[in-house]
Structure 1
Amino acid sequence: MNIIIIEDERKTAQSLEKIILELQPQAKIIGHYQSVEESVTALSNGPMPDLLFMDVQLADGLCFEIFKAVDITCPVVFCTAYDEYSLKAFKSNGVDYVLKPFSKEDIQGAFKKVDELKNFFQQKNTVDLQEVLNKLQAPSGKTSFLLFMQQKYKTVHVDDIAYFCIRHDATWIMCFDKQQYPITQSLDQITQAVSAQQFYRLNRQCLVNFKAIKEIEPYFLRKLLVKLSIETPEKLLVNKEKSTNFLTWLENR
């Protein structure tokens, strides 16, 4: 398997290569690139790899500019510190979206999805990449959370959750019925666990359920003010850098 790594942080690229070769000793890393420009040049003039590992934010811009310039025909594993690009990534041949700092288990999970891709081709005898990508890109996500409170276990279904938030350095579940529950997982862990189609990370403090969104208003400095069907003690704001991505997420529901 020939693999190209597109990552502008040298240490991260080296760490990723080490993990890849530990998991796939037969793999060959045929290229390391740090920018959109050099990635476009390499992919335009050289052979297409069997798999791409790609960061989203590169030295000279977002990696999605590469897809505008080059016809990428291989599956892509996105490795990034930003969760807000997942929808766009899965529209760009993405088979997995790994958040930094990633672990060996995260990369192993990505290779598992790639193997599922290969098995699909072998079983169906087809080269319809988009069909299998659609199949792999629609995980249902976590459906409930198990909480331990007052010496009892309680299950909260995600459909009953309006949003998750961070308050006073703790993570909380806020339900449609106005019940509130503390939870041990971090907001980053919850974001990875739930369905990206159902929940959106508005900012560092809030992860909101699509069903809870009532309306959106323009706010100061090109931000968006998100109002939910239940009252929130704080204003839920989306900054201008994420506003387009958020509106795209809403539109593509």
Structure 2
Amino acid sequence: MKVLLIEDEIPAIEKVTHFLAKYDPESELLGVAKSIAEAVPLLIEHGPQADVLLMDVHLEDGLSFQALDRVGFFKPVIFITAHSQYALEAFKANGIDYLVKPFSYAAFAASLDKFRQLRDVPATLNPKVWAQLSKPTYKERFMVKIGEHIHSVAANAVRAFFAEGRNTYLIREDGRKLITDYKMETLEEVLNPEIFFRVNRSHMINLDAIKDVLVYSNSRLKINPNFPYSEEIIVSRDRVNGFKDWLDGERKTD
């Protein structure tokens, strides 16, 4: 069992580490983060390999839900916290259990037992039912900062994403550009590929944001967007065939 731990209190880190080793001596702690700033890169790097996430709600720089929202982390989460008022929000964030500090080893083990039972459920399900339950989940909202204010932008309301230097921006319907914490490579993983397509190294477009497509030079295509945007959006040659399949409603899978 591979685990990620997000916790900012040293005694709690030591307690969880001890309980985890006691529960499963073969378990592997992939990493520990004490803040949102540390959790985001940890989740991006090790999230795909993790089986379960153990996470405190209150971190030194905010609520841990913010880290999950930034990276679109969809693995099971066991929340460990001294604050019971966040239980509803925790379960909305893919939480499978909610341990309130101080907790015993018996409570900790019961949470991991619950995780294992849920993990093993697919083997007993009708294949058609499991196929429905195992459909991928995609990111639905993005948290962005405008001045001193934090806003939530629905993914479907984003017309396009583009990278410039080290920064990545989302573009709203009114053409306003807002910086995000996501890289283009991560966006390709967390966004619904039926709605968004990466047309070149710097641009990812929403299907509903395309006004029309023109044949361009050197076997490329040019996208005319239906939102205010001053730069050209060119489909690179190596993505033209995939882009045409996407427009035609055909998506190839591995």
TM-score relative to the length of structure 2: 0.49
TM-score relative to the length of structure 1: 0.50
